[in-house]
Structure 1
């Protein structure tokens, strides 16, 4: 089964073609995975500008579709389905991807699959690793921070979420406050190398409290207040603060995942999303998983950030179950994985 995936929810325009095995088995093959990063367009603003992002998607999408097909060595007639991120995300960008996928599906009589962007991250590990359902997932990105039980496509139970800001957003804001550039995650991780993680005592929101919810707004405030007191030009102090910040986030992740594994025991702990690319945080989560007799599994770093391959794979998982969409699907700026949990917030 060959499926094209289109991802345009934020600041990456991405198109991929993957090949999925028959049945419902994990581990597929990436035939192409083209990505145009808009970092240059947004860096001078210190963050993503929705209008600029939408325009860049519109300008690049057709060329990336052609490139993905060429690199995969297939034509549109060879595809079994066309998937696109249907939300959540910046609605202008989501509309570009959805309308492109609809047009291709209609013109070539192919099934159209609208994929929840978060489900793309949630299922991406099964594209490269033989992970069986169910598993516990820590989904951490610039806009989301959740703990969920994953039983299959469209079948999620949310155990906890952030009550204010996402972990990735906290990384971005820390990098901006310290003048490290954008995007913040890689910048903070790089700056933390050689830093003293014990120099600054930062607050650990929700630490040792019941449940699995997160909070990062207080940590952001503490980083700002601490950063304002640092001597100008003291690069070691910046490294120490980044290392202390990273350690604090690791403490919070470890504490929340410990609670989640107690509430919903699982043999597998999966971490996905952009923040999952952080090597230090992966190490902390490996310790937590091992202490509960579980195994930590994460997608390759290139599949942690937004990409078309994860959308194509999620589309293939749904297509194998007959979960396709009609062409009147409406793009969604918000789309919770567990609607029941969203209604309880």
Structure 2
């Protein structure tokens, strides 16, 4: 089976073509391209209308690149899969309509894919992982801890009550005038200097406490960060202070995720693997901290270049859906689709 997958849920445009002998075998990636729209930097965040129009321009050119430079021909494609939710409705519509057009023109089955499920299962693409496992999904739009018992058997153990971890990382990067304003530049800034402001930053971020067990919250970290930056405007010009602040901020945010994960799995039996998926999974501090906190568990993550939104995970989930006849309405697009 050879599947062409299309991802356009937010500001990344991606096409991937993968081959699998069976729905359970490890895939061979025959083609994969990702394009991230940089024009959102000047707006300080993703503008849905701009993102939709960006996909409309990029997707045909990317598909043409596949046609011109790949050894795979359209006649070899067994089916086409696209993200149909969750995400920005305009972006989802562009990708799904493009995929449906290709499927109709070439008489190929069209498969809808749940973007969240694709992320959660993406860790199995390059890792032999048995069910059950626990997945930490952390990105700009989501932060959940999920018990994964099977391809279509998932239970949310914990979720954020407000902002996602990736969202607060992006927003604090913007407050610090980092460019581009995202979690990756927070990580880069944190690694720039050795700590020299322990006294000033000591106990700056307190861990949130909720009456509802295992509920996460990240808005308090964002509010405290804004308060500190307003009280210490010199941080925008003091690179050492900025670096130390980023380091302290990361530690606090990731500690909250890791402690919640630890509390969520303490009563679960048979959990050998904890997977980290989503854009924030690229962060080395998060991976290292989780390994240190849970030494008895295997920690797995997708390759760093496939933690963010990508077509490979959509292609793989498309094959799985096709083989299990787990195909929901192909005319359906939902910005709020969940696990």
TM-score (norm 1): 0.91
| 2: CA distance, partners of 1:71 / 1:198 | 53
Label 1:128 to 1:203 Cα distance change in 2 as closer, same or farther (>3 A): same
Match of 2:228 in 1: 226
Structure 2: stretches of 5+ with no match in the other structure: none
Tell me by how many angstroms 1:198 deviates: 4.8
Match of 2:81 in 1: 83
Tell me by how many angstroms 1:240 deviates: 0.9
Match of 2:264 in 1: 260
Match of 2:284 in 1: 279
Moved over 6 A (4+): none
The 5-angstrom pairing of residues 24-43 of structure 1 reads 24-25=24-25, 27-39=26-38, 41-43=39-41
Any conservation in 1 of the 2:172–2:225 contact (CA below 8 Å)? yes
| 2: CA distance, partners of 1:311 / 1:195 | 40
Label 1:254 to 1:84 Cα distance change in 2 as closer, same or farther (>3 A): same
Any conservation in 2 of the 1:11–1:48 contact (CA below 8 Å)? yes
1:313 corresponds, among 316, 320, 338, to 316
Any conservation in 1 of the 2:23–2:319 contact (CA below 8 Å)? no
Match of 2:97 in 1: 99
| 2: CA distance, partners of 1:7 / 1:206 | 34
| 1: CA distance, partners of 2:181 / 2:147 | 29
The 5-angstrom pairing of residues 44-193 of structure 1 reads 44-193=42-191
Any conservation in 1 of the 2:171–2:181 contact (CA below 8 Å)? no
Label 1:289 to 1:19 Cα distance change in 2 as closer, same or farther (>3 A): farther
| 2: CA distance, partners of 1:122 / 1:69 | 30
Any conservation in 2 of the 1:32–1:69 contact (CA below 8 Å)? no
Any conservation in 2 of the 1:46–1:181 contact (CA below 8 Å)? no
| 2: CA distance, partners of 1:312 / 1:10 | 17
- Aligned residue pairs, count: 332
Label 1:72 to 1:154 Cα distance change in 2 as closer, same or farther (>3 A): farther
Label 1:147 to 1:71 Cα distance change in 2 as closer, same or farther (>3 A): farther
